[in-house]
Amino acid sequence: MSNKTVLIIEDEGDAAELFAEMMRVSGFRVLKVSNSAPAIDLISSEKPDLIILDIMMPGISGLDILHHIHHDPALTSIPVVVVSAKGTPADIKRGMEAGAKIYLTKPVGFQELKEAVTRALGD
């Protein structure tokens, strides 16, 4: 079992719970937040081992969160797996340039997400 913590930032309740369950089954401690504003504080206070991030969020976008993470030296080493419905090549390029380690487009299956998380953590 992993003692690693995954933070899920996803405003869609069903998707957030699905991702959380996928991570729990894989042995991770899971934190979830459905709004971008508290997510930034949570990232700073918890320093999760990995973040699963949606791009289309109310208020502060996932891209803004990525920029914040990658401009804070205390957070920049946290790998981020983006899981978004925005899947055009331009969207993916923007996400990767903003600092995503891996960019997946919804819908995402259990195996695909688990492999992405494992790759992002370098395990």
What is the reported pLDDT for 36?
85
**pTM, whole model, 2 decimals?**
0.95
Q: How far apart are CA 115 and CA 123, in angstroms?
A: 10
pLDDT tens readout for residues 47-106:
999 999 999 998 899 999 999 999 999 999 999 999 999 999 999 999 999 999 999 999
pLDDT at 18 over 60: yes
What is the reported pLDDT for 58?
85
CATH of the domain at 66: 3.40.50.2300
pLDDT at 37 over 90: no
- Give percent of the chain with pLDDT exceeding 90: 91
What is the reported pLDDT for 123?
66
What is the reported pLDDT for 82?
98
- Residue ranges making up the domain that contains 88: 5-121
pLDDT at 2 over 70: no
Our count of domains for the chain comes to 1
Give the pLDDT band (50/70/90) at residue 1: very low
